[in-house]
Structure 1
Amino acid sequence: MNLVIDFGNTTGKVGLFTNNDLIKVMRPVQLDDIAKFFDEYDIQNTIISSSSISTSNIRKKVHGNCLELSHKTPLPFAINYKTPETLGLDRIAGVAGAYFNHPNENCLVIDIGTCITYDVLVNGQYPGGAISPGLTMRFKALNTFTANLPLVENEGSTELVGDSTKNSILSGVANGMAAEIDGFIENFNHKFGPLKVLICGGDYIFFENKLKASIFAAPELVLKGLNGILQYNVS
């Protein structure tokens, strides 16, 4: 059994895999929860991806064979990124998820979380992508950098025409993000040819039915990508 540990910018989650099959997902997970999985499950291999907690602290909770993801980790696709040492681990994992789950297909991975990341995989090559603010960050920015706009939280359904300041913010942020995502999909398709578009991340559900483009929901793509990288390195 494989244990996949993913601590992102805002939350932690864990996936349990038998070979390539995801059998259990747990979120949110704290650092002190990690050791419990080794008491409850027969875990042979572990991979750690963390942008918020020191991997050395996580490793203290882990038993057996453990891989720490970095830009130097061997991958089955080429990273053609000018500054690979600055490349987010979640972006590497998302592209890996596309590679392992959609072999021989050119893909655009859109991860909608704290930030929105757009990452392209074409002919087994990763050239890069784009990063923009996510939902919560946009709501906070409007509140922080203005004198009178309130802090608003996303409510899911949003009308185009806001009939109050709150609803106007909801419209501007949510509909603006949907238009941005559709625009990026169109531009990436124009540049690279038809791409399979995969969306994931904590806020993807808010946009699954808002987009005009053809998309495929892949809610656990990052975990699956991490497991694929683990399998690739231990096999």
Structure 2
Amino acid sequence: MRTLALDIGNTAVKYGCFEGDLLFETAVVDSVAAVPELLEKLQPAHVIVSSVAEDTTAVVAQWQSQVSGRVLAFQPATTKLPIENAYATPHTLGADRLAAAVGAAWFWPGHDTLIIDAGTAIKCDWVEQGRTFRGGSIAPGLRMRFEALHTFTGRLPLVAMPAETAAPVPLTGDDTQAAIRSGVLNGAVAEVNGIIEAYRAQKQDLQIVLAGGDAGFFQPRLKGRIFVIPELVLIGLHRILVHNVEN
């Protein structure tokens, strides 16, 4: 069975095409306007759509004419899931967070998992025993921190991410730009390592999985064994779609 998972973000649409459980193609397109051409090319039997940026009701209805099976608009509060969602306000829960939790539960059934999704925001979420999404924390992402320092102060410059993400970031900045880089980047790493240590103190058999656009920056800087799965959200969306098609 061929399926297509669409993750509509604030600036682009990421997709993953699966044959069975094998993710064989993934890429980014500029907007939802490119999806009909994608459907024509890939010919999926079923499609799942997740969006943190816009209501997908209208486009789902349009795409249905190109798909022989289901076109499922993922809604965290109402869509059937292969895990339990224990979030107190599911209608406010970001679809990407819940999809990542489903992906982690599929990789590590029966295990506690901490998901670190380092993108526009840095989200750290706990899946209990591979069965229950409990929630977690949301903090500004790296670029948002740089932009906030520039926007909400009178004279601090807008500093960009280093071109080489694996290069060391000096702890002591010897000019203003270097000081900002140290504060933002070293501070974010210390923050995430602190969260990991706090969860590990509570959970003896904790799996840590890292995803998101800034995973490459965090990977060499986080302590302990870390699994990096950049496509975790797409994999979780695929598992949600399969669950709904089969049930």
Q: Give TM-score scaled by structure 2 length.
A: 0.91
2:161 to 145, 154, 178: 154
Of the three residues 119, 125, 137, the one matched with 2:125 is 119
Aligned residue for 1:230? Answer: 241
CA distance in 2, matches of 1:193, 1:75: 27
Structure 1 pair 76/4, CA: closer, same or farther in 2 (3 Å)?
same
Deviations 1:43-92 (A, max 9, x none): 10000000113202431234321111112111121111111111110000
Residue 176 of structure 1: how far off its partner (Å): 0.6
Q: How many residues were matched structurally?
A: 235
Contact kept, 8 Å, 1:94 with 1:109, in 2: the verdict is yes
What's the offset of the Cα at 1:204?
Answer: 1.0
Matched, 1:67 2:72: yes
Name 1:132's counterpart in structure 2: 139
Give yes or no for contact 2:119–2:141 (8 Å, CA) kept in 1: yes
Query: What is the RMSD of the two structures over their aligned residues, measured on CA atoms?
Result: 1.3
Q: Does 1:103 align with 2:105?
A: no
Superposed counterparts of 1:187-226, under 5 Å: 187-226=198-237
Amino acid aligned to 1:173: V
Matching residue of 2:6? 5
Aligned equivalent of 1:186:
197
One-letter amino acid matched to 1:88: G
- Conserved in 2, the CA contact under 8 Å of 1:9 and 1:114? no
Aligned to 2:31: 30
How far does the alpha carbon of each residue in 1:183-235 deviate from its partner, in whole angstroms, 9 at most, with x for none?
Answer: 00011122333310000001111111011232111110000000011111112
Does the Cα contact within 8 Å between 2:126 and 2:135 map onto a contact in 1?
Answer: yes
Counterpart contact for 1:182–1:213, Cα < 8 Å: no
Report the alpha carbon displacement of residue 161 of structure 1 after superposing the two structures with TM. Answer: 1.8
1:11 is displaced (CA, Å) by: 2.7
Alpha-carbon shift at residue 21 of structure 1 (Å):
0.5
When structure 1 is superposed on structure 2, of 68-77 and 186-195 the one drifting more is 186-195
Give unmatched runs, 5+ long, in structure 1. none
Q: Is the 8 A contact 2:116 2:125 kept in 1?
A: yes
Instruction: Give the whole-Å Cα distance in 2 for the aligned partners of 1:180 and 1:214.
Output: 17
Percent identity among equivalent residues?
A: 38
Which stretch has the larger CA shift, 163-172 or 176-185? Answer: 163-172
Secondary structure at the residue paired with 1:126? strand
Distance 2:13 2:42 in 1: 19
Report if the CA contact (8 A) 1:140-1:151 is conserved: yes
**Whole-angstrom distance in 1 between the partners of 2:152 and 2:175:** 19
SS in 2 for 1:142: helix
CA contact (8 A) 2:112 2:127 kept: yes
Deviation at 1:9, TM superposition (A): 2.9
Which residue, 83, 92, 100 being the options, matches 1:77? 83
8 Å CA contact 2:57, 2:73 repeated in 1: no
- Which runs of at least 4 in structure 1 moved beyond 6 Å after TM superposition? none
Query: Aligned partners of 2:149, 2:55: CA distance in 1, in Å?
Result: 32
Gaps of 5+ in 2: none
CA distance in 2, matches of 1:3, 1:100: 18
Q: Does structure 1 residue 41 correspond to structure 2 residue 52?
A: no
8 Å Cα contact 1:185-1:213 kept in structure 2: no
Q: Which amino acid aligns with 2:143?
A: T
Amino acid in structure 1 at the alignment position of 2:81: L
